[in-house]
Structure formats: C-alpha cells, structure tokens
C-alpha cells in the first residue's frame, strides 16, 4: 500500500474541491486549478471531514505508482490555491542582470545578446533588484519549470560561481589549475 497515497488530503478553510467524472477542480482565494486524473485511481471528497481520499482500482505496478502520484498532485493543487508557490533565483557575475519588461524576462548573463524569456500565463515574475528574480504562481509545476528554464540559460559554473542559481543553493566549487 502506498504510504503517501493512503493519507487523506486536508482541505483548508476557503478552498473548495469538487470531482466530476475524472476531473478535479480546486478553487481558492488565489485562483482555480483543474486536472483530470487517470482511470487507475478513484478520488472522493469527504465534505464532513473536509478531506480528499484517493484509492486505487488496480493492484498492478502502474496502479500503485499512480496512487501516490495522484494524491501528491491534489495536495499541490490545494496548497497552490490557498498559499501559492514561489521560487527565488540569484544572478552572480560582473555585468550580469535581469529585468522584467511587459511579459518578457530579460537576462544579461555574459552572452553577446540579451536573452528574452516569455513569461507563461498564470505566473507573476518580478525583479526586486537587478540580481534577483522572484517567480510566483498557483501551479507548482509551472513555477518550477519556468525557474529551471531560467536557471538553464546560464548554469552556475564551478570555478567562480558565476551564473543563475536558486537562492540558498550551494555551488560546488573547484580549485583552479594553479592549485596544488
């Protein structure tokens, strides 16, 4: 039995969860998320206990795998519409900077051209200063994906630590060729 899958998802106050056929709708103060789950699992909303229960219909390998996954995705949806998700990026390097212009994130990270990244709908991207980028949204996957794509523009290099990295991320540093 999946340890994660059998735990019920608690519904906080102000969040409304409904299941119609295989489509799960979660509404909260920050917005609304809709997702269709796979037929290998079934989802029930318990209104009295204010929780969502996930159970599997098949005992095969795929059914067991989707049991915990479905529960985790529903939990992420509930947290997203009630609290939201946030990723913070730092930019290190001489002359490296970031700015938001309309619906585009502009990055100057040591290339001949400025990198332009289109901000996906549903995300709020801000630059409190030129070396920090804050990505906020209700969909955990979108927030993480855009943060990963932004970091991939110029990954931090191990010799000087220059590049784009997550706030608080430890960069493994190497000694240069002159170190003995």
CATH of the domain at 119: 3.90.930.12
Which residue, 137, 152, 167, is CA-closest to 107?
A: 152
Q: Please report the pLDDT score of residue 5 as a whole number.
A: 83
Note the helical H segments in the chain.
Answer: 61-82, 140-153
Which residue, 122, 101, 115, is CA-closest to 151?
A: 115
Q: Please report the pLDDT score of residue 128 as a whole number.
A: 95
Residue 103, domain member (yes or no): yes
Q: Which residues contact 179 (CB under 8 A, 6 or more apart)?
A: none
Q: Please report the pLDDT score of residue 177 as a whole number.
A: 85
Q: Please report the pLDDT score of residue 118 as a whole number.
A: 96
Q: Please report the pLDDT score of residue 178 as a whole number.
A: 82
Q: Which residues pair with 88 in a beta bridge?
A: 134
Same domain as 118, residue 65: no
Residue 81 main-chain phi, psi, to 5 deg: -80, -20
Of the three residues 82, 114, 143, the one that is the final residue of a domain is 82
Q: Please report the pLDDT score of residue 69 as a whole number.
A: 92
Q: Please report the pLDDT score of residue 63 as a whole number.
A: 87
C-beta separation of 22 from 40 below 8 A: no
C-beta separation of 151 from 138 below 8 A: no
Which residue, 32, 51, 146, is CA-closest to 89?
A: 146
Q: Please report the pLDDT score of residue 139 as a whole number.
A: 94
Q: Please report the pLDDT score of residue 1 as a whole number.
A: 52
Q: What is the pLDDT along the chain (180 residues), one digit of tens a residue?
A: 568 888 999 999 999 999 998 899 999 999 999 999 998 899 999 988 899 999 988 888 888 889 999 999 999 999 999 999 999 999 999 999 999 999 999 999 999 999 999 999 999 999 999 999 999 999 999 999 999 999 999 999 999 989 999 999 898 999 888 866
The parent domain of residue 161 ranges over: 85-166
Of the three residues 82, 113, 134, the one that is the final residue of a domain is 82
Same domain as 99, residue 78: no
């Amino acid at each position: 039995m999946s340890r994660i899958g059998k735990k019920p998802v608690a519904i906080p106050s102000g969040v409304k969860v409904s299941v119609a056929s295989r489509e799960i709708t979660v509404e909260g103060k920050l917005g609304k998320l809709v997702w269709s789950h796979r037929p290998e699992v079934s989802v029930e909303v318990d209104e009295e206990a204010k929780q969502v229960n996930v159970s599997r219909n098949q005992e095969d390998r795929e059914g067991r795998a989707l049991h915990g996954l479905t529960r985790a995705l529903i939990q992420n949806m509930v947290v997203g519409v009630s609290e939201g998700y946030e990723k913070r990026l730092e930019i290190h390097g001489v002359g490296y900077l970031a700015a938001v212009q309309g619906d585009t994130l502009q990055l100057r990270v040591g290339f001949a051209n400025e990198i332009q990244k289109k901000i996906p709908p549903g995300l709020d991207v801000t630059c409190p200063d030129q070396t920090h980028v804050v990505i906020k949204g209700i969909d955990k996957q979108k927030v993480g994906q855009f943060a990963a794509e932004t970091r991939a523009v110029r990954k931090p290099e191990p010799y000087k630590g220059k590049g784009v990295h997550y706030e608080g991320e430890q960069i493994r540093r190497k000694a240069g060729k002159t170190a003995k």
